[in-house]
């Protein structure tokens, strides 16, 4: 989608005479992602629409948490940002997306990704007494929205989630969408991009998407990620709750945006959590 008049004016004042090199957007949500060139430097522009909630998260991540990764050249450097206008500009990181390339099947990729994730998670930690209740309530709210969850699973799902314990949790900066679509590889080094879902959460939440896909392909990928990270942060009770929450979020959000393959993935996760 095009930038709003306000965003276009602001971008023009930041980068006068810039050239659009490529459209990097995925086309599922109202976020514009452009590769641009200004004064011989390649940059990435992200702009959100009125419903966008991702730009503010990404700006916060850049301002508060990414410094050690940027210093190593493993995350994009923030160039300009305006949270109110839902607009940010970062330095363009060289590299190829890992997803759908041979690097997605290489343990070394996951070892490098685990090292990056540990750097992010180590930035700060806070205890949150209300996290468990918030997670439960979020899942129940999502179940009140349109979905295509099978009635047999839905009844068991509601009963379990309603009875979840609500313990306090230790939260750290998380990526929120941690998997090879948001990793770059360049000269053998892995970098992270796209922090539009970054937020303070339990560290194990960043493993759910990997565990539901890539870790199943080859145990060596999971082992390499844990090696790079320095261990496995998962515990059985919290892990199941986060798995179920992710499955429900995937099934409901994907239906909303019309991503049928991703919706089907959410249903597979639910079927695994609630077998016949």
Q: What is the largest CA-CA distance in the chain?
A: 60
Q: Which of 22-26, 90-94, 151-155 has the least mean pLDDT?
A: 22-26
Return phi, psi of residue 4, to 5°. -70, 165
- Rounded to an integer, the average pLDDT of 175-197 is 96
Please list, in sequence order, all residues whose beta carbon lies within 8 angstroms of the beta carbon of residue 259, skipping any fewer than 6 positions away.
28
Question: Over the stretch 155-176, which tens digit does the pLDDT of each residue have?
Answer: 999 999 999 999 999 999 999 9
* Contact yes or no for 77/70 (Cβ under 8 A): yes
C-beta of residue 106 within 8 angstroms of C-beta of residue 224: no
Q: Are 225 and 106 within 8 A, CB to CB? A: no
| CATH class of the domain comprising 97-273 | alpha beta
pTM for the model stands at 0.93
Q: What CA–CA distances, in Å, run from 241 to 95, 202, 235?
A: 35, 12, 10
Domain boundaries defined on the chain: 5-93, 97-273
Between CA 236 and CA 23, with CA 247 as vertex, the angle to 5 degrees is 125
pLDDT average, residue stretch 104-114: 98
Q: Which CATH class is domain 5-93?
A: alpha beta
| pLDDT of 222 above 80 | yes
The answer to whether 171 and 201 have CB atoms below 8 angstroms apart is yes
Torsion sign over Cα 179, 185, 191, 192: negative
Percentage, residues of the chain above pLDDT 70: 99
The predicted model gives 259-267 an average pLDDT of 96
């Amino acid at each position: 989608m095009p930038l709003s008049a306000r965003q276009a004016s602001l971008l023009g004042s930041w980068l006068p005479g810039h050239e659009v090199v490529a459209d990097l957007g995925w086309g599922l949500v109202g976020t514009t992602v452009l590769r641009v060139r200004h004064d011989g430097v390649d940059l990435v522009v992200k702009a959100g629409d009125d419903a966008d909630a991702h730009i503010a998260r990404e700006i916060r991540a850049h301002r508060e948490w990414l410094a050690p990764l940027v210093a190593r050249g493993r995350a994009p450097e923030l160039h300009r940002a305006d949270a109110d206008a839902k607009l940010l500009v970062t330095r363009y990181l060289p590299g190829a997306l890992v997803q759908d390339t041979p690097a997605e099947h290489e343990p070394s990729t996951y070892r490098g990704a685990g090292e990056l994730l540990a750097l992010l998670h180590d930035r700060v930690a806070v205890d949150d007494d209300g996290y468990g209740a918030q997670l439960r309530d979020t899942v129940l709210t999502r179940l009140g929205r349109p979905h295509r969850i099978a009635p047999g699973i839905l009844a068991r799902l509601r009963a379990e989630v309603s009875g979840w314990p609500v313990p306090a949790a230790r939260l750290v900066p998380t990526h929120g969408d941690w998997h090879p679509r948001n990793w770059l590889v360049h000269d053998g080094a892995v970098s992270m991009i796209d922090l539009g879902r970054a937020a303070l959460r339990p560290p194990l939440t960043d493993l759910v998407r990997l565990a539901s896909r890539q870790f199943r392909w080859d145990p060596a990928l999971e082992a390499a990620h844990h090696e790079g990270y320095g261990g496995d942060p998962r515990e059985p009770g919290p892990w199941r709750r986060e798995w179920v929450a992710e499955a429900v979020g995937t099934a409901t959000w994907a239906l909303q945006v019309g991503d049928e393959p991703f919706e089907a993935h959410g249903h597979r996760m639910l079927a695994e959590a609630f077998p016949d």
